[in-house]
Structure 1
Amino acid sequence: MSDIRVASRYAKSLLDLAIEKGTLEQVRQDMLLLDKTVQQNRDYQLMLKNPIIKHDKKLAILKAIFDGKVSPMTSLFLEIVTKKHREAVLESMPKEFENQYNLKMNIQRATITTAVPLDAAQREEFNRLVAARTGKTIQLEEKIDPSLIGGFVLTIGDKQVDDSIKSSLQRLRNKFNDNSYISKL
């Protein structure tokens, strides 16, 4: 079974347990910390996947890093994952937890890429439009790409709306390069 599938199952179990115990938001913050640690530390990633390092040593490292920084439930969860020899899934599990959390809380992630930063009114308008289209609470991530020149690229799940000047110019260029278009003139 792939690590992503295993991570998804562990994440779902942790989410269900956190809801049952009433500690969902605390566990989510713990998962965000775990994800941040994974993303910022290549040695940590390699340690989790290294089959030469014994599981008890990995558990000691995890405890040294996270004891006192995460809830007792998350700490126990890390211990269980380690005892089951599944430390490698700890790299992808926080993202899977976030996906499960978003599903449970009816949150839709969207990414808006613009040439310049959005102001508050534009941000609110995008949130309103995407919420109206999806019927979900929106978690909007903003990216800046000056090469767009103007306009925006909005990505919601696997759908993308590209209304950038860069793409409009590319479409126009393609039309002029298309011989059949020139012959129609």
Structure 2
Amino acid sequence: MAQKTTVARPYADAAFQLAQAAGALAGWADGLAMAAAVVSDSRVATVLGHPRVDDGRKADLVLDVCGEALDGQQRNFVRLLVQRDRIGVLPEISHQYDRLRAEYEKTLNAELTTAHPIDDAVRDRLAEALSQRLARTVSLDTQLDESLIGGAVIRAGDLVIDGSVRGRLNRLTSALSR
């Protein structure tokens, strides 16, 4: 995992710089996500990993499946990754690109997991409070997990706020066992 991250970083940086220069951050994010999904398909991965398939055919395969979703620069980027035998790290490149974009745009996707459904007003207040605390625009996705018993858990990047009953019981158990 660390090796893929290390290999992907300069390519993600280069893609971000190209996208920024072209004013196409969203377009590049969509294109990279599409190409990453294609590369992640097991059938495509088999062809890409086959030693007898030449680089041109590998690149053409990915580009044909992506169709018009990629512009000229993105198509060249895919060809470069194939030539340098880095096409397999495209999903990690896409992930790192998304992180660079979110940092640049000062946005953050957070996850709110609750034991019971909450209404939109409560969710919006939580998103606003997180936005103020983190100095970023927070998009809050909600999920239900009845095993929490009550309360909620918020995951925003590296920040985890566990206000669930299950979390409190776990902390109490840990404290009592010391």
Q: What TM-score range do you get, normalising by the shorter chain?
A: 0.7 to 0.9
Which residue of structure 1 lines up, in the alignment, with residue 5 of structure 2? 4
CA drift at 1:90: 1.0
How many pairs are equivalent?
A: 176
8 Å Cα contact 1:127-1:138 kept in structure 2: yes
Distance 1:101 1:9 in 2: 15
> Which AA in structure 2 matches 1:140?
L
8 Å Cα contact 1:30-1:70 kept in structure 2: yes
More divergent stretch after superposition (163-172 vs 146-155) = 163-172
Q: TM-score, normalised by structure 1?
A: 0.82
CA RMSD of aligned residues (A): 2.4
1:102 to 1:120, Cα distance in 2 relative to 1, 3 A: same
Tell me, what secondary structure is at the counterpart of 1:131?
A: helix
Which residue of structure 1 lines up, in the alignment, with residue 120 of structure 2? 120
Distance 1:85 1:171 in 2: 47
1:68 to 1:166, Cα distance in 2 relative to 1, 3 A: same
Distance 1:3 1:88 in 2: 9
Distance 1:38 1:150 in 2: 41
Which structure's CA Rg is the greater one?
1
8 Å Cα contact 2:152-2:162 kept in structure 1: yes
Q: TM-score, normalised by structure 2?
A: 0.84
CA drift at 1:51: 5.6
Q: Does 1:135 align with 2:135?
A: yes
Q: Does 1:78 align with 2:78?
A: yes
**Structure 1: which 5+ runs fail to align?**
181-185
Identity %: 23
What per-residue deviation string (whole Å, max 9, x for no partner) do you get for residues 75-127 of structure 1?
12111211222111112111111011111111123221112333211211111
> Which AA in structure 2 matches 1:16?
Q
Which residue of structure 2 lines up, in the alignment, with residue 22 of structure 1? 23
Q: Does 1:33 align with 2:34?
A: yes
Which residue of structure 1 lines up, in the alignment, with residue 159 of structure 2? 159
Which residue of structure 2 lines up, in the alignment, with residue 183 of structure 1? none
